[in-house]
Structures are given as structure tokens and as C-alpha cells.
Amino acid sequence: MLTQRLIIPLLILAFAQSVVADEAHPANMPDLTALLSPPPANGSVAAQNDLQAVLAAQSARSAADASAAEADAERSIFRFADVLGPRFQPAQLPRTAAFFERVAQFDKADVKLAKSYWRHPRPGDVSTAVHPLDKEKANDWSYPSGHATFGYSAAVLLANMLPEKRAAIFARADEYAQHRIVIGAHFPSDIEAGRVAGTVIAAQLLGDPTWRADYRATCAELRKALAATP
């Protein structure tokens, strides 16, 4: 994990050279299979540590933890409302809702390609001792976590729109991602891969001219609705 944390700035700086365009991968999407390390091999020490972390989270989770984790199963930008305030609601922010739904779909498509490449099983498929709080779709693989990817790509974009709230936004993204372990849907390695993937995807979108107009309009709507100082 530490190695991946250290290389994120390098990944972003070298992003244009890192994208691998081929017939199976759209040119406007980062190729996560070229940017992420493989998931822990079955039976390895890293895989055993991953499983133990999931079991420890399962053992420690309270009813309140379970409720919060289940609520965060919703893949929505408005899960950040608890740190952005009561005005951060879809009815008041239609452009923001549409923009981040577009981000969610972009993330999902990119992550799906990576999941299909690695086909890494989820915790409940690895051990019967894991009791997930939510049933995932069949053949929806574990690595990287799609929820974590969205949480971190959304956090990067939100933090650029609202830099004065950067710390709270990223803390909420961490919680959102960790809830995937609490719920029993993902391993820690899935979450870390999602953090890297989300950061890289957000960097791609911030530099993509086809997203620029929507990004600026969303930023203007968001700051106005939250009464943020320009």
C-alpha cells in the first residue's frame, strides 16, 4: 500500500504516456490494468492479511457501523452531504447531480474492464466465515472497488471545486471507501486500488477538454448554492 501511495503523483504526472489505447480499451479512459498492481495472489501472505482484515472489521462492527456502511452502498455524490451541509441536495443542485452521475458512469465503465481482467473474487466467495451485509451481483468481481474508485474520483473533483473543504471531503471519501470493508464486500487491497484508480481518473477528467465546460458550470452552481466565497 505504501508503495502505491508514493507513486500516485508520478502516475498523474506521467498519465498521458501511461494510457494504453487498444481495441478493447477506449482511448479516453485510463487503462487501470496498466496502472494498478495485480491483486494479492490466492494463498499469499498478502491475501491472508486481506481476509483477516475483513474478518476483523466484521467482528468489530456495531449496529451503527453496519447501518452507516449499508447507507454508503449508494453510489451518489450526495453521500458527501454530511460534510458539505444541508444545502448539498440534488433538488438544489441539478447540474451537480448530472455531472457526478456522468462521473459515476465513467468510473463504472473503466473499473468494469479492470475487474473483468483480474476476476478477483470477493471476500464472501473466498471464505464462508465472511458474512456480507449486502449481496453483490453475480460475476461482479472485487478488484478494484468501484465504490472506492467513485468516492476518490468524486473527492478529487469536489476538492478542486471547494478547496477550502478539502480535508473534510477526503476524510469522508476515506470513510465511504472503508465502509466497503465493513459491509464485507471488499478487501483492503480493493480499496487501495480504488483510491489509486479514482485519483488517476479524476486527473484525466480535470485535463480533458470535453469535460471542462460541465466542470466549470458545476463548480459555479455548487459554490453559489453553498454560499462559498469566490
Q: What are the pLDDT digits (tens) for 84-118?
A: 999 999 999 999 999 999 999 999 999 999 999 99
Can you give the pLDDT at residue 24? 52
Residue 215 lies in a domain: yes
Overall number of domains in the chain:
1
**pLDDT of 161 over the 50 cut:** yes
Quick one: which of 161, 162, 144 has its CA closest to 200? 144
Is the model's pTM score more than 0.85?
Answer: yes
78 touches 217 (CB < 8 A) = no
Residue 83 lies in a domain: yes
Can you give the pLDDT at residue 108? 96
Q: 118-159 pLDDT, tens per residue?
A: 999 999 999 999 999 988 777 789 999 999 999 999 999 999
Residue 20 lies in a domain: no
Residue 23 lies in a domain: no
| DSSP for residue 92 | T
Residue 39 lies in a domain: no
Residue 50 lies in a domain: no
Residue 70 lies in a domain: yes
Q: 172-209 pLDDT, tens per residue?
A: 999 999 999 999 999 999 999 999 999 999 999 999 99
Range of the domain at 219: 2-11+62-225
Write b or e for each residue in 97-113: b if 16 or more Cβ atoms lie within 10 A of its Cβ, otherwise e. bebbeebbebbeebbee
Name the average pLDDT for the chain. 90
| DSSP for residue 1 | -
Contacts of the segment 208-217: beta carbons below 8 A, 24+ positions apart = 208/28, 210/28, 214/95, 214/99, 214/102, 215/99, 215/157, 217/95, 217/99
Any bridge partners for residue 212, and if so which?
Answer: none
* CATH code of 120's domain: 1.20.144.10
Residue 31 lies in a domain: no
